[in-house]
């Protein structure tokens, strides 16, 4: 191999303090092979050893504290695996316990009674006193240097620790590396950015991320490295998107005849400013000559349907056809019903195609789509079948995109052989802007961040299971007022027998509490046949049932404006996004709506945060932000999108502000210099090369 070798390609076994055996361990355990790999192995946190606490100042909320004092004495307690050594530690302001479970023989031999120590660890209250379990102990003698500063803590494996490669040891090795590497570290950002954002140099950043001189330096080092990481992440995404856009011409929809006609005589309400803005963004795409790939985010009830319809009119005004694809039959039906109301007044031909469309009807639809007689088609996956051909498909709207994959989107593209249709993906699951920018860096984003005027926010309360009779009373009261109620049970996996039993038990107890003939209770779950589900839904829509007991099959899209109460059983078992989706089933009419979250008494900290967030806000974006904090970005999207999410230091849940400026900077540089040929952009070219090389190395390893 004739690879260009640099200092950073040197194998770590040649580093002072490493050697062949440790090198092999680091290779195997952490995938660290070269100086370059090691220097990029950043600490995941730092021990703050800059300040001391007295025992009287200790507080449960401290993540860790260091206390200087005297180890008066120790004794043993417990038997077998519970055997522990308890030391009495004092500092003139109080007494605390130091507790050890392991290495007792060694400790007994090495600790000195009445010796002076610095004990470091997490203080926990226990029996009226604080104690630290397995504290780090530093012996103080007149000539010891008292540790002060921020100490890096690296994520390490048990195997490494057993071979004495702990954070302290890695820190020492790192110091050796940094001393040698310092002159070899090249700047990876152009001078203009370093100046503009007052970033510290790459050299200083690498030094201080491992061995911070003080907290201010640590913060600057983190800011610099996060910026760099996000800048290159966005630069690459934007570069790819530019390439992609150039490859895809799009139909131009300049005529707006049908839109004007609709606005003039048939618009059922004033559009919100957000709806108008989004329509402007879509229109700009339609006249750009390039294919639109746009993500439309809008909370439940924000009015995406009419935006979709008006976008369709833009296509239709230019002789093109439009389709809308939904993830389920229920949803497709509802879209069809909603769109048909608008389409009929304009005399447009609209159809629906789902799994239950008869063969006979299908034949008609296929023919009308192919000849262009039918202008709008709504449907499920059935639309993807090869037999569905259009005369000229100009716009494809995909609802609830997380259920459709990229492959399916590509299938829709192929439905117009001349020019691929414009694509509008709609989702009611708000994704925090920071995440959307990174995940969908190649989709443009439109957001409806405003609800139609006069909407009453849904009132959300948290009730414990034992208050069920109170909740039933409230349900009766609402039914008395003519409203309808959903009661939702978790049924995550439709096969889970226990869940199914819960649902049935719940159904029976509700039937007992709401007896016939005064009340009608319906049920909806995944084990029912499609026509049974349909019947139940229709009965509820026609107000023949007062209460709908259901599983999450009602999560998406169902629209019954008269339903004003959503009771969620075992709410602790739902994720935030799902709770928010479920709540969105109510609050669709003019009446005040309510959401009741039922839980048991024992709740984890995260669950409490989820419930409190739901009670506090109706804003989907705020909820998505909390969800991102709780779960992390990988979880939120269900899949780790390759490359995009491989961030080593930036945290999408926290570094939104940095991401925004990094993206703007990347955009501006590519606008000015699309091929990065200007001399001042040499650092970017070099670093992109290095990143590419690193990636090929990684693919070789794994």
Spatial CA neighbour of 558 closest among 301, 178, 296? 301
Residues 304-323 that bind ligand ADP (CB under 6 A): 304-306
What is d(CA 26, CA 40) in angstroms, rounded to the nearest whole number?
A: 13
Signed CA dihedral, 325, 326, 330, 336: sign only: negative
Stretch that binds ligand ADP, among 265-273, 403-411, 457-465, 623-631 (CB under 6 A): 265-273
Q: Which is nearer to ligand ADP, 43 or 301 (CB)?
A: 301
Q: Which is nearer to ligand ADP, 123 or 557 (CB)?
A: 557
C-beta of 493: minimal distance to ligand ADP in Å?
Answer: 27
C-beta of 680: minimal distance to ligand ADP in Å?
Answer: 46
Q: Which is nearer to ligand ADP, 441 or 587 (CB)?
A: 587
- Number of residues located near ligand ADP, criterion CB under 6 A: 15
Residues 641-700 that bind ligand ADP (CB under 6 A): none
Single residue of 271, 504, 603, 661 touching ligand ADP by CB under 6 A: 271
C-beta separation of 418 from 334 below 8 A: no
Single residue of 71, 173, 259, 428 touching ligand ADP by CB under 6 A: 428
C-beta of 64: minimal distance to ligand ADP in Å?
Answer: 47
Single residue of 97, 220, 222, 302 touching ligand ADP by CB under 6 A: 302
Q: Which is nearer to ligand ADP, 186 or 283 (CB)?
A: 283
C-beta of 299: minimal distance to ligand ADP in Å?
Answer: 7
- What SS3 state is found at 574? coil
The token pair at 34 is 């070269």
C-beta of 270: minimal distance to ligand ADP in Å?
Answer: 6
Q: Is 400 exposed, middle or buried (0-12, 13-18, 19+ CB in 10 A)?
A: buried
Q: Which is nearer to ligand ADP, 106 or 269 (CB)?
A: 269
Single residue of 17, 115, 452, 575 touching ligand ADP by CB under 6 A: 452
Stretch that binds ligand ADP, among 300-308, 534-542, 606-614, 640-648 (CB under 6 A): 300-308
Spatial CA neighbour of 227 closest among 658, 684, 690? 658
DSSP character string of 175-215: HHHHHHHGGGPPP-S-HHHHHHTTPPPHHHHHHHHHS-SSH
Single residue of 300, 395, 424, 626 touching ligand ADP by CB under 6 A: 300
DSSP character string of 306-335: HHHHHHHHHHHTTT-EEEEE-SSHHHHHHH
Q: Which is nearer to ligand ADP, 306 or 636 (CB)?
A: 306
Spatial CA neighbour of 659 closest among 647, 670, 671? 647
What is d(CA 8, CA 18) in angstroms, rounded to the nearest whole number?
A: 15
Residues 279-298 that bind ligand ADP (CB under 6 A): 298
Q: Helix 215-247 and helix 656-672: axis angle, to 10°? A: 50
Q: From the DSSP assignment, how many helices (H) and strands (E) are in the chain? A: 24, 22
What is d(CA 225, CA 426) in angstroms, rounded to the nearest whole number?
A: 34
Q: Would you give the binding string for ligand ADP spanning residues 222-261, x where CB under 6 A is met? A: ----------------------------------------
From the CB of residue 307, how many other CB atoms can be counted at a distance below 10 Å?
25
Single residue of 269, 477, 481, 508 touching ligand ADP by CB under 6 A: 269
What is d(CA 524, CA 502) in angstroms, rounded to the nearest whole number?
A: 14
C-beta of 592: minimal distance to ligand ADP in Å?
Answer: 16
Single residue of 66, 167, 272, 484 touching ligand ADP by CB under 6 A: 272
The token pair at 323 is 């389709």
H/E run at residue 150: strand 150-153
What is d(CA 446, CA 444) in angstroms, rounded to the nearest whole number?
A: 7
- Enumerate the β-bridge partners of residue 659: none
C-beta separation of 568 from 549 below 8 A: no
Q: Which is nearer to ligand ADP, 250 or 557 (CB)?
A: 557
What is d(CA 595, CA 624) in angstroms, rounded to the nearest whole number?
A: 18
Rg (CA), the chain: 31
- Enumerate the β-bridge partners of residue 87: 74, 98
Q: Which is nearer to ligand ADP, 12 or 623 (CB)?
A: 623
Which residues contact residue 522 at a Cβ distance below 8 angstroms, ignoring those fewer than 6 apart?
A: 536, 539, 540, 545, 547, 548, 549
From the CB of residue 27, how many other CB atoms can be counted at a distance below 10 Å?
17
Does position 575 interact with ligand ADP (CB under 6 A)? The reply is no
C-beta of 615: minimal distance to ligand ADP in Å?
Answer: 22
Q: Which is nearer to ligand ADP, 15 or 278 (CB)?
A: 278
C-beta of 322: minimal distance to ligand ADP in Å?
Answer: 16
Q: Which is nearer to ligand ADP, 294 or 304 (CB)?
A: 304
Q: Would you give the binding string for ligand ADP spanning residues 106-145, x where CB under 6 A is met? A: ----------------------------------------
C-beta separation of 551 from 491 below 8 A: yes
C-beta of 584: minimal distance to ligand ADP in Å?
Answer: 7
By beta carbon distance, the residue nearest ligand ADP is: 303
Binding residues for ligand ADP (CB under 6 A):
269-272, 275, 298, 300-306, 428, 452
């Amino acid at each position: 191999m004739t690879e260009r070798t640099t200092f950073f390609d040197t194998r770590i076994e040649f580093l002072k303090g490493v050697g062949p055996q440790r090198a092999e361990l680091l290779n195997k355990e952490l995938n660290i092979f070269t100086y370059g790999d090691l220097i990029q192995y950043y600490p995941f946190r730092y021990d703050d050893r800059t300040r001391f606490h007295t025992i009287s100042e200790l507080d449960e909320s401290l993540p860790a504290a260091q206390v200087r004092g005297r180890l008066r004495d120790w004794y043993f307690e417990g038997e077998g695996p519970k055997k522990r050594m308890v030391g009495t530690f004092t500092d003139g302001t109080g007494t605390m316990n130091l507790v050890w479970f392991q290495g007792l023989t060694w400790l007994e031999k090495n600790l000195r009674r009445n010796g002076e120590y610095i004990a470091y660890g997490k203080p926990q209250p226990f029996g009226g006193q604080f104690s630290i379990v397995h504290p780090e102990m530093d012996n103080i003698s007149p000539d010891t240097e008292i540790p002060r500063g921020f100490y890096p803590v690296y994520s390490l494996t048990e195997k490494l620790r057993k071979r004495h490669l702990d954070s302290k040891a890695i820190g020492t090795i790192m110091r050796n590396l940094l001393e040698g590497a310092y002159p070899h570290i090249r700047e990876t950002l152009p001078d203009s950015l370093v100046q503009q954002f007052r970033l510290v140099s790459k050299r200083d950043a690498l030094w201080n991320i491992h061995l911070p001189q003080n907290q201010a330096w640590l913060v600057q080092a983190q800011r610099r490295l996060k910026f760099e990481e996000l800048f290159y992440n966005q630069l690459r995404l934007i570069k790819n998107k530019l390439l992609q856009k150039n490859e895809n011409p799009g139909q131009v929809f300049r005529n707006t005849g049908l839109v004007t006609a609709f606005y003039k005589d048939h618009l059922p309400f004033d559009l919100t400013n957000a709806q108008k803005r989004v329509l402007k963004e879509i229109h700009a795409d339609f006249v750009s000559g390039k294919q639109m790939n746009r993500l439309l985010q809008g909370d439940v009830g924000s009015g995406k349907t009419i935006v979709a319809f008006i976008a369709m009119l833009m296509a239709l005004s230019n002789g093109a056809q439009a389709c809308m694809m939904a993830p389920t039959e229920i949803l497709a039906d509802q879209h069809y019903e909603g769109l048909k109301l608008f389409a009929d007044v304009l005399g447009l031909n609209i159809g629906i195609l789902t799994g239950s469309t008869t063969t006979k009807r299908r034949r008609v639809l296929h023919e009308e789509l192919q000849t262009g007689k039918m202008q709008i088609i709504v449907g499920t996956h059935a639309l993807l079948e090869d037999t569905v051909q259009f005369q000229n498909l100009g716009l494809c709207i995909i609802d609830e995109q997380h259920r459709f994959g990229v492959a399916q989107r590509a299938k829709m593209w192929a439905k117009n052989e001349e020019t691929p249709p414009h694509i509008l993906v709609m989702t009611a699951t708000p994704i925090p802007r920071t995440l959307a920018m990174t995940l969908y860096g190649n989709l443009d984003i439109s957001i409806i961040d405003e609800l139609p005027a006069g909407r009453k926010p849904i009132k959300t309360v948290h009730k414990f299971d034992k208050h069920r009779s109170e909740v039933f009373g409230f349900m009766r009261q609402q039914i008395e007022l003519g409203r309808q109620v959903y009661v939702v049970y978790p049924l995550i996996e439709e096969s889970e027998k226990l869940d199914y039993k819960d649902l049935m038990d719940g159904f029976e107890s509700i039937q007992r509490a709401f007896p016939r003939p005064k009340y009608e209770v319906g049920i909806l779950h995944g084990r029912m046949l499609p026509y049974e589900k349909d019947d139940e839904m229709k009965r509820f829509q026609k107000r023949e049932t007062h209460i709908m007991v259901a599983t999450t099959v009602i999560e998406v899209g169902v629209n019954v404006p008269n339903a004003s109460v959503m009771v969620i059983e075992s709410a602790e078992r739902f994720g935030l996004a799902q709770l928010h989706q479920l709540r969105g089933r109510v609050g669709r009419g003019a009446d005040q709506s309510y959401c009741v979250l039922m839980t048991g008494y024992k709740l984890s900290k995260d669950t409490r945060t989820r419930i409190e967030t739901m009670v506090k806000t109706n804003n989907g974006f705020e909820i998505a932000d909390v969800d991102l904090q709780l779960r992390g970005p990988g979880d939120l999207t269900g899949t780790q999108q390759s490359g995009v999410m491989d961030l080593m230091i930036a945290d999408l849940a926290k570094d939104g502000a940095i991401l925004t400026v990094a993206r703007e900077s990347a955009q501006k540089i590519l606008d000015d210099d699309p091929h990065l040929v200007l001399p001042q952009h040499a650092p970017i070219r070099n670093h992109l090369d290095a990143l590419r090389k690193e990636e090929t190395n990684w693919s070789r390893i794994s």
